């Protein structure tokens, strides 16, 4: 993604994402197949809210498969806490010498102790790292969900065909569609009609020279433009066509919305500072804060000095704020994935804490004397 594309992620307008590139493409393809498979099952049971239910179901399955590794990583962190007195003794044994050989021996002894007790601190990062491919792939998929979900693609196709049945539909669609037409469609038309050599043109020049030759008469291309229509665009179409045609189009559009909406939110729209989508990043931050707090109850060293405790508190806050911040501008469906993932983690940590007898306290509520 180029710089302008990155900045565009944080605007309130829906945009067609450029090609995912050789790194994201296989990730999006793999998870696209998984989402399509699960979606068809959910849709067969009930079409309403099927995209949101699919994301929740996929997240639960993913986290359930990850659970053994997540528990193992927490146990590794707890072993590190238990080994701290021994590690401190090793450091005291070698003193504060900066001699390379002495430092090398000290590190070797500490590494051997950690390996012997299977307490690799890097294991704590594995669960988070394993979620990142799904996070990245889902971000791209949700920007163009209908391209990856076959049933939803059929709904968009039927909607495009219904619009094309309207007499003079191009005159109605062109004014609102032209600014939204993806670069790929323009390039395909330039090549197909040999109007200009695209390589020597800026996008603005290409749009001017292409004239009225666009692919809105092709259902697949019209679908990609429909995907970007706002409520104002649909209102304009309703006002511009006979009621008979609008009845058919509106039924299909309502069916599309019933699939893409969940709890009143459009999952393919981007989160923003406006209500109600602002709730998504906020819930991401809150659920991750609770999850991090519960994990610290199990893994934090109660005998740590004040400096170490301050670092723990900072990390407790910084990571949820960071994840919540990057969720702004991403599709709401990505936020739903992250919220579901953290709720799963919270339930897992509560269960482990109860099992191990670890007291559960609310964040920032001091323990009573």
> Alpha-carbon distance 51 to 15, whole Å?
20
pLDDT digits (tens, 9 = 90+) for 150-186: 999 999 999 999 999 999 888 888 888 777 766 665 6
Which range (35-49, 64-78, 262-276, 333-347) has the least confidence? 64-78
> Alpha-carbon distance 361 to 293, whole Å?
9
Q: Is the pLDDT of residue 90 over 80?
A: no
Confidence band of 204 (pLDDT split at 50, 70, 90): low
Question: Which has the higher per-residue pLDDT, 183 or 230?
Answer: 230
Q: Is the pLDDT of residue 305 over 70?
A: no
In this prediction, residue 195 carries a pLDDT of 44
What tokens does 73 get?
């990583």
Confidence band of 359 (pLDDT split at 50, 70, 90): low
Confidence band of 315 (pLDDT split at 50, 70, 90): confident
DSSP string, 51-86: HHHHHHHHHHHHHHHHHHHHHHHHHHHHHHHHHHHH
In eight-state DSSP terms, residue 266 is E
Confidence band of 132 (pLDDT split at 50, 70, 90): confident
Q: What are the residues facing 270 on neighbouring strands?
A: 331
In this prediction, residue 5 carries a pLDDT of 35
In this prediction, residue 156 carries a pLDDT of 94
Q: Is the pLDDT of residue 39 over 90?
A: yes
> Alpha-carbon distance 338 to 283, whole Å?
9
Residue identified by tokens 């709890």 is 263
Question: Which has the higher per-residue pLDDT, 210 or 161?
Answer: 161
Give me the mean pLDDT over the 229-247 stretch: 92
pLDDT digits (tens, 9 = 90+) for 329-343: 889 999 999 999 999
Q: Is the pLDDT of residue 365 over 70?
A: no
pLDDT digits (tens, 9 = 90+) for 261-300: 998 899 988 888 888 889 999 999 999 888 888 777 766 6
**Cα dihedral: 115, 118, 121, 123 (round 10):** 120
Q: Is the pLDDT of residue 17 over 50?
A: no
pTM score of the predicted model = 0.78
Residue 99: left (phi > 0), alpha (psi -120 to 50), or beta?
A: beta
> Alpha-carbon distance 84 to 337, whole Å?
36
Which residues are CB-contacts of 198 (< 8 A; sequence separation ≥ 6)? 187, 190, 191, 206
> Alpha-carbon distance 330 to 320, whole Å?
16
Burial class (CB in 10 A: 0-12, 13-18, 19+), 45: exposed
Confidence band of 93 (pLDDT split at 50, 70, 90): confident
Alpha-carbon distances of 214 from 26, 147, 195, 297, rounded to whole Å: 30, 20, 12, 60
State what percent of residues in the chain have pLDDT above 70. Answer: 74
Confidence band of 9 (pLDDT split at 50, 70, 90): very low
Q: Is the pLDDT of residue 234 over 60?
A: yes
pLDDT digits (tens, 9 = 90+) for 101-129: 777 777 787 777 777 776 665 555 666 77
In this prediction, residue 154 carries a pLDDT of 94
Confidence band of 13 (pLDDT split at 50, 70, 90): very low
Residue identified by tokens 């020597």 is 200
Contact at 8 Å (CB) between 10 and 329?
yes
In this prediction, residue 24 carries a pLDDT of 75
Which range (10-19, 100-109, 137-146, 280-289) has the least confidence? 10-19
Residue identified by tokens 């690799």 is 120
On average, the pLDDT of the chain sits at: 77
What tokens does 127 get?
């669960």
In this prediction, residue 227 carries a pLDDT of 84
């Amino acid at each position: 993604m180029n710089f302008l594309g990155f900045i565009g992620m944080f605007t309130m307008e829906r945009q067609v994402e450029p090609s995912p590139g050789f790194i994201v493409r296989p990730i999006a393809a793999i998870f696209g197949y998984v989402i399509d498979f699960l979606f068809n099952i959910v849709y067969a049971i009930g079409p309403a809210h099927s995209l949101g239910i699919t994301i929740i179901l996929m997240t639960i399955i993913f986290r359930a498969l990850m659970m053994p590794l997540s528990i193992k990583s927490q146990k590794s962190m707890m072993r590190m806490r238990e080994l701290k007195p021994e590690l401190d003794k090793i450091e005291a044994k070698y003193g504060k010498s900066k001699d390379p050989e002495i430092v090398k021996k000290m590190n070797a002894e500490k590494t051997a102790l950690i390996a012997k007790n299977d307490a690799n601190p890097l294991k704590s990062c594995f669960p988070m790292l394993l979620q990142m491919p799904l996070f990245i792939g889902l971000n791209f998929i949700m920007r163009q969900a209908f391209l990856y979900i076959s049933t939803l693609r059929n709904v968009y196709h039927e909607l495009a065909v219904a619009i094309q049945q309207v007499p003079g539909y191009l005159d109605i669609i062109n004014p609102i569609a032209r600014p939204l037409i993806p670069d790929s469609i323009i390039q395909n038309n330039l090549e197909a009609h040999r109007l200009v050599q695209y390589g020597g043109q800026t996008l603005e020049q290409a749009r001017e020279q292409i004239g009225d030759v666009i692919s809105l008469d092709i259902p697949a291309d019209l679908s990609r433009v429909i995907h970007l229509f706002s409520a104002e665009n649909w209102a304009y179409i309703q006002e511009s066509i006979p009621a008979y045609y609008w009845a058919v189009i509106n039924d299909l559009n309502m069916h599309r919305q019933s699939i893409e909406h969940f709890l009143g939110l459009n999952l393919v729209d981007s989160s923003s500072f406006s209500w109600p989508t602002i709730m998504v990043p906020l819930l991401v931050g809150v659920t991750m804060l609770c999850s991090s707090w519960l994990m610290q109850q199990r893994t934090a060293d109660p005998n740590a000095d004040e400096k170490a405790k301050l670092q723990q508190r900072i990390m407790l806050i910084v990571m949820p704020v960071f994840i919540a911040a990057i969720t702004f501008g991403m599709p709401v469906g990505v936020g739903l994935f992250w919220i579901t993932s953290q709720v799963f983690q919270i339930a897992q940590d509560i269960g482990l804490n109860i099992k191990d007898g670890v007291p559960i306290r609310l964040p920032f509520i001091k323990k009573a004397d």
